A and B are shown apart, each in its own frame.
Chain A
Amino acid sequence: MNDTAKNDTVSAGRIEIGGTIFNPYSKDFIRTPDPTWQTLIRDYPIAWHKDLQMWLVSSHELCDKVLKDNRFSPNFRLWELAPPPKAEADKNDFDRAFEKGFFAVTPLEHLRLRKLTMPAFSKPVMGKIDAKIRDLVVDCFDALGDAEEFDVYETLAVKIPVRSIARMVGVPTDREDYFHEFAVNVIKSTRINLSAKEREVSVQATLPGFRFFLDEIAKRRAAPHPGDDFLGSLVSASVDGSSLDDYEILSVVFALITAGSDTATDLHTYLIHGLLSNRDQYELLKQRPELMENAIIECLRWGSFGKVPFFRFAAEDIEFAGQRIRKGQAIGVNIQAAWHDPAKWPEPMKLDITRRLDGNIVFGAGAHFCIGTYLVRVQGSLMLLEFMRRYPDAELADGDGRIDYEWTHHNARRINRLVVKTNVAQARKAA
């Protein structure tokens, strides 16, 4: 045992837990996470997790504090277990994009990046995206024909998010599958719960995709006008004479993919799962579609599909909530648990689409607040409006949609089967 580890073991007053309290990979947890979250919130709002080798913060109050405190950085390079930085000559496009990205730059640089990129993600631009992705949502539903039953995962959740993002960033339709693979590898490259070897395999697999975007950016720069789509607006963005360089733009594409494509798969399954397993709320939303935005956020809070926490790294030694966090240590911000904290959310297991959601951290909080929040709302509403219009009497097949999970998913409690019974034939007969 080295000195540091020895000091850790003997450090007075440190609250410690292990895999018996919280094991994000266990099947029981993936199926029924709430009892674990309630234990963490009640008994271990902050604790050192011996098996995961990180602090785990689980109450709403503490998660909110960590997210708003810049001393807890998302920069993986600050992690005590991060691999040593590469020499300049050895860096590939992944490394260069990562270094310039939202999760790696200083807070001041981060603010500059957000100022330059915000217009591309703002509500008005997302309004235009609405028109771009509406037809692909409709196409996914059209492909279902008059099906009596269909699997939400296969037919909607896998297809809509990644195709939406591919359209946003200008990937040709015939390369969307290739783009999906790229997206999954980008995400895997950043997960500290995977081994260094697994991360490196994924990094290598991202390189052709990064090349594609670098070429595309070069084309836009050479054109008389870079275009007014998402990529074009990043190329032409300028604030106080400052603009984005190639790797900064790449880093935004990188962020969009990590946050927006794989994660949004769960958006679609959990929206439908939440509403159809709470029938009264589905009926209410059909009657009052103006509740859509609130309903989407509430469904995300209620379903809380994350498995592994968000990661932060201590930029300095920090006394926090009675615990001593050492510089370089990892902090798992367990926001999934926080979304079910009864101190913030009375009756947390009740889905209520009229719930007041002030102060929620469903899209995070602080400097790294989800930049794609409007994209989520646009995509979620397009899908749900179409679903409700076509299948007003839908229900989960056999009561639970024959639900199944991808147990080994690296990040989410991924539902990979959710069968909906459409009841369209029945409704037609009745009419």
Chain B
Amino acid sequence: VSKWICVICGFIYDPVLGLPDAGIAPGTAFEALPEDWTCPECGSPKSAFEVYEA
């Protein structure tokens, strides 16, 4: 399962960790996030994310 990076601010979404504070359970794939989900760092939409290959 891939990590995704926000190209605006560099925030990395790690599906293994999820975002428990924001109600997103560990193990939630990026694709499964709601369509209106936005980057917790800068507020950009999902379309500003791309697969992150570290």
Contacts and interface: CB of A to CB of B under 8 A. Distances in A.
A121 B48 CA distance: 16
B44 A369 contact: yes
A122 B8 contact: no
Contact of B10 (A64, A122, A364): A122
A365 B10 contact: no
Nearest to B40: A358
6 contacts: A68-B43, A114-B48, A364-B42, A369-B42, A373-B9, A374-B10
A123 B41 CA distance: 14
Contacts of B48: 111, 114, 367
Contacts of A374: 10
B7 interface: yes
A27 interface: no
A64 B42 CA distance: 10
B43 A365 contact: yes
A115 interface: yes
B52 to A, nearest CB: 10
A369 B50 CA distance: 17
Top 9 nearest A-B pairs by Cβ distance?
A369-B42, A365-B43, A115-B7, A369-B9, A68-B43, A118-B7, A114-B7, A369-B8, A366-B43
| Residue picked from B9, B21, B38, B48, most chain A C-beta under 10 Å | B9
Interface band, chain A = 20 to 34
A114 B43 CA distance: 15
A122 to B, nearest CB: 5
A399 B42 CA distance: 37
A138 to B, nearest CB: 27
Contacts of A111: 7, 47-48
Interface of B: 5, 7-10, 21, 38, 40-44, 47-48, 50
B44 to A, nearest CB: 6
A118 B21 CA distance: 27
A123 B47 CA distance: 21
A123 B10 contact: yes
Given A111-B48, A115-B50, A365 B7 contact: no
B22 to A, nearest CB: 9
Interface string A350-383: 0000000010000111110110011000000000
Contacts of A67: 43
A16 to B, nearest CB: 30
Contacts of A115: 7, 50
Contacts of A118: 5, 7-8, 10
Given A364-B42, A366-B8, 7 more contacts: A68-B38, A111-B47, A114-B7, A115-B7, A121-B10, A358-B40, A370-B9
Contacts of A358: 21, 40
A234 to B, nearest CB: 15
Interface in A87-132: 111, 114-115, 118, 121-123
Contacts of A123: 10
Contacts of A68: 38, 43
Nearest to A118: B7
A194 B25 CA distance: 50
Given A111-B48, A115-B50, A64 B43 contact: yes
Nearest to A361: B43
B10 A114 contact: no
A369 B41 contact: yes
A235 to B, nearest CB: 19
Nearest to B38: A68
A241 to B, nearest CB: 15
B31 to A, nearest CB: 19
